Amino acid sequence: MGSQQWQWEESQWKSNNDQIVYHCRVRTNRDDLPWQATRIYDIPSDGHQALVRKTGLSPYRIYDWARVTEHRENNGYQDIYVSIERIWFNRSEWEWKKDSQYSNRKKQGYRSRFSDELTGSLLQKLRGNYLRLADLSTIAKENLAVAVDLPQHEIDAWCQIEKVERKPDHFIIHVSILNAWLKAPRRDDWEWVAESSPTGDNSLKYYTCKGRAVSSQLMIALNSPRSSRKQVSADGWRKLAEKTGLDVNEAERWGQDFSYTASPDGLKVRVGVPNVWICADLLQGGNLWNRGVVNWGGTFGQAISYLGTWGKKEIHCWDIKDLIDTLTPVLTNF
């Protein structure tokens, strides 16, 4: 059968919302052997080439896209019907838009029409809804990164696919990104702000800030069993020391109860610092302690405790032994 006989036309009465059916009528020559097309492989190469020209689809993937739905002989002619899913024909750019379906206080949803070139394996993943971000093309991730204003090379760490929705002529990809990543600083932010104690114990005073710029390395560290104080930069400790009046060189000792937590407003760094005021009444007995300077110092210390200990944990010492017992563990730690 010559190639001039392969004239494929869309069959309106057999096409539907999901399928486009193409029909071709070819004459059965007297010398032709009887044949039956039940698969695309059975159609001669001339028929393949004519179908590719008609549909504009890739000749390398025609076996993934098309299937023979009917082949019958009729008065010296053979009628062949081939169906192709409409999904194969509809292509659009990766244009990501906000998706209210998967948006809430903790995360922000985005959606886009799937526009990559489909293969048989990729179609299987789309239909089974187990598509992964790694399966998306570079252009898809680049456009998503632009839409959410995040670095493209980190998109795999921040984003997850929520759902793949099938339409008659296209797929829709739904993804979500945690607000903690979207609102985290693009640069380090060590502006510490005082915060109330999460446990109600005022022996530590807590300070929080957004801290380090978000990255996949930080995400790995957050998922580790213990978050390290080293995740706070030298500049971060310096600013905290300035705010609290403590020695930055001793930050590794006085910086306690360190934690990184994800919140709707970004990544929060929390550090507890000592918040204890020792009130020692040294006016009781003892020759040395009855001297004027010592008496003045003791009285002065008590006066300050009355004026400046609000919000601090107070420990009272009524004699030298109590004071030494109180200071010993503190000095030992240092």
pLDDT tens, 254-275?
888 888 887 777 888 899 888 7
pLDDT confidence bin for 149, thresholds 50/70/90 = confident
Give the DSSP letter of residue 117: P
* Lookup: tokens for 287: 């020759």
Predicted confidence at residue 35, as pLDDT, reads 72
Task: Determine the length of the chain.
Answer: 334
pLDDT confidence bin for 50, thresholds 50/70/90 = very high
Predicted confidence at residue 104, as pLDDT, reads 93
Predicted confidence at residue 312, as pLDDT, reads 59
H/E stretch holding 204 reads strand 204-209
Query: With 70 as the cut, is the pLDDT of residue 115 above it?
Result: yes
Q: What is the mean pLDDT of the chain?
A: 79
Query: With 70 as the cut, is the pLDDT of residue 125 above it?
Result: yes
- Among 62, 105, 28, smallest CA distance to 262 is for 105
Predicted confidence at residue 112, as pLDDT, reads 94
Predicted confidence at residue 319, as pLDDT, reads 61
Query: With 50 as the cut, is the pLDDT of residue 96 above it?
Result: yes
* Lookup: tokens for 144: 């998503």
Half-sphere exposure of 168 (CA within 13 A, CB side): 6
End-to-end CA distance of the chain: 95
Most confidently predicted of 26-35, 299-308, 309-318: 26-35
- Comparing 86 with 143, the larger pLDDT belongs to 143
Using alpha carbons only, give the angle 250, 300, 241 rounded to the nearest 5 degrees. 20
Cα–Cα distance measured from residue 314 to residue 277, given in angstroms and rounded to the nearest whole number: 5
The lowest-confidence range among 129-133, 147-151, 179-183, 329-333 is 329-333
- Comparing 232 with 331, the larger pLDDT belongs to 232
Cα–Cα distance measured from residue 64 to residue 37, given in angstroms and rounded to the nearest whole number: 16
The lowest-confidence range among 174-188, 225-239, 277-291, 298-312 is 298-312
- Among 240, 256, 243, smallest CA distance to 333 is for 256
Cα–Cα distance measured from residue 111 to residue 327, given in angstroms and rounded to the nearest whole number: 61
- Among 233, 318, 229, smallest CA distance to 273 is for 229
Cα–Cα distance measured from residue 101 to residue 72, given in angstroms and rounded to the nearest whole number: 48
Predicted confidence at residue 174, as pLDDT, reads 95
Provide the 10 A C-beta neighbour count for residue 176.
22
Residues 33-52 have a mean pLDDT of 84
- Comparing 245 with 221, the larger pLDDT belongs to 245
- Comparing 140 with 219, the larger pLDDT belongs to 140
Question: Are 255 and 228 in contact, with CB atoms under 8 Å apart?
Answer: no
Compute CA distances 153 → 32, 146, 169, 181, 215, whole Å. 58, 12, 31, 14, 10
Residue 223 CB burial class (10 angstroms; 0-12, 13-18, ≥19): exposed
The pairing of strands 97-98 and 266-274 is: unpaired
pLDDT confidence bin for 296, thresholds 50/70/90 = very low
Give the DSSP letter of residue 31: T
- Comparing 25 with 330, the larger pLDDT belongs to 25
Residues 183-212 have a mean pLDDT of 86
Most confidently predicted of 215-219, 271-275, 309-313: 271-275
Q: What percent of the chain has pLDDT over 90?
A: 22
Residues 224-243 have a mean pLDDT of 81
Question: Are 115 and 136 in contact, with CB atoms under 8 Å apart?
Answer: no
Question: Are 47 and 6 in contact, with CB atoms under 8 Å apart?
Answer: yes
Question: Considering Cα of 206, then 207, then 210, then 213, what sign does the dihedral take?
Answer: negative
